[in-house]
Amino acid sequence: MARSDAAFSDVILSGGTGRSGTTIIGKLLSRHSKIGLSRPSEIKMLTSGNGLLDLHLGRRVGWLKSLLVTDRLHLERFHYRLNNDWWKRDSKVGEIAGLIQGIEAEELGELYRALMRNWKKDRKAAPREFFRSFVDSQKRVSGKDMWIDTTPVNLFRARELSEFLPGVRFIHMVRDGRDVIASVVREHWGPKTYEEGLIWYRRRMRRNLLNTNLLGSRVLTISLENLVITNRDETFNKVLNFLEVSSESKIEQYFNNDVLAEKVRQGRWRDEVEDVHKFNESYFKIVSELKDIDPNVPLAS
């Protein structure tokens, strides 16, 4: 089950803090004739707790970790989540989302049975083979050469993923943290206040940048604001060059008609933060700290 260093060069993983533009870049790139968007756009089973990456690393997480005392139980926990948490979930628009969108239950079952067989031979390589087969299945349906997933946590675990998936490439979507916080405080999974949001944003960005610093040319970091508002054409072309694809009329049309400033809510935080001066002061201290890690991170200071 050995793989070359470029075995996953057809895989693109977009990520960021969350609410930073990962979905936007995924939808944009899916308009290219060579790039297909994962179905669902966030597959979750790769980086979620007790997912494929954790299975590969032998890492048990979550409230059940003390019960997963053997590798077999860990594999069974993956199987449970595969057929429940990741298979079907409610989306924001009221539709059913999850792996059900992109693969038949019978085929997913076949992939899992192959995982069990390979698990007996090589427990680190078996999850990689599962993921390779899953991506290949979706590529057969789309008829495209490359595949992109937009789960934000991809960047949170990018260093581990780069070792797990040789040749994989990353697009790190960065957005003004104040707008990120204004968005995530509305999510049930996010921080509840702007003050908590600053702590949350700092922690995620620090980890993302510490990961990307180790990835070199395998990661492209771009600003959502540059892509959508201030430096559109140059940023758009930078993405295409990174992926080594030429521009096409369909993706250009989508970029010009749908990737627009009015679709990215900016500045909402100004009307919601009690003390704007204090909030900005705290935020720019975080930006300064982040620039100490990566001076090129596209955040206004």
pLDDT in tens, 235-280: 999 999 999 999 999 999 999 999 999 989 899 999 999 999 999 9
- 134 and 207 part of one domain: no
C-alpha atoms less than 13 angstroms from C-alpha of 271 in its C-beta half-sphere: 4
Does residue 39 lie in a domain region? no
- 57 and 74 part of one domain: yes
Q: What is the dihedral of CA 61, 67, 73, 78, to 10 degrees?
A: -30
- 167 and 292 part of one domain: yes
Structural domains in the chain (count): 2
Instruction: Read off the amino acid at residue 85.
Output: D
Asked which of 143, 167, 195 is the last residue of a domain, the reply is 143
Parent domain of 242:
7-34+150-301
Please list, residue by residue across 178-193, b when 16 or more beta carbons sit within 10 angstroms of its beta carbon and e when fewer do. Answer: bbbbbbbbeeeebbee
Secondary structure of residue 96 in the 3-state scheme:
strand
- 221 and 267 part of one domain: yes
- 187 and 279 part of one domain: yes
Asked which of 88, 123, 143 is the last residue of a domain, the reply is 143
4 contact partners, CB below 8 Å, separation of at least 6: 166, 167
Sheet holding 169-174, edge to edge: 35-37, 146-149, 11-16, 169-174, 219-223
Does residue 212 lie in a domain region? yes
Length, in residues, of the chain: 301
- 21 and 136 part of one domain: no
Does residue 170 lie in a domain region? yes
Query: Across the chain, which distance is largest between two alpha carbons, in Å?
Result: 59
Write the CATH number for 282: 3.40.50.300
Does residue 2 lie in a domain region? no
Cβ-count burial of 79 within 10 angstroms (0-12 exposed, 13-18 middle, 19+ buried)? middle
- 125 and 256 part of one domain: no
293, 174 contact by CB (below 8 A): no
| Rounded Cα–Cα distance for residues 24 and 178 (Å) | 18
Q: Between β-strands 96-97 and 89-90, what pairing exists: parallel, antiparallel or unpaired?
A: antiparallel
- 82 and 154 part of one domain: no
Asked which of 143, 172, 200 is the last residue of a domain, the reply is 143
**Which parts of the chain fold into alpha helices (H)?**
22-29, 52-57, 71-83, 105-121, 125-142, 153-156, 158-164, 177-184, 194-212, 224-225, 232-243, 249-258, 276-293
Per-residue pLDDT of the chain (301 residues; tens, 9 = 90+): 445 678 999 999 999 999 999 999 999 999 999 999 999 999 999 999 999 999 999 999 888 888 888 999 999 999 999 999 999 988 766 788 999 999 999 999 999 999 999 999 999 999 999 999 999 999 999 999 999 999 999 999 999 999 999 999 999 999 999 999 999 999 988 999 999 999 999 999 999 999 999 999 999 999 999 999 999 999 999 999 999 999 999 999 999 999 999 989 899 999 999 999 999 999 999 999 999 999 999 999 9
- 51 and 194 part of one domain: no
- 121 and 223 part of one domain: no
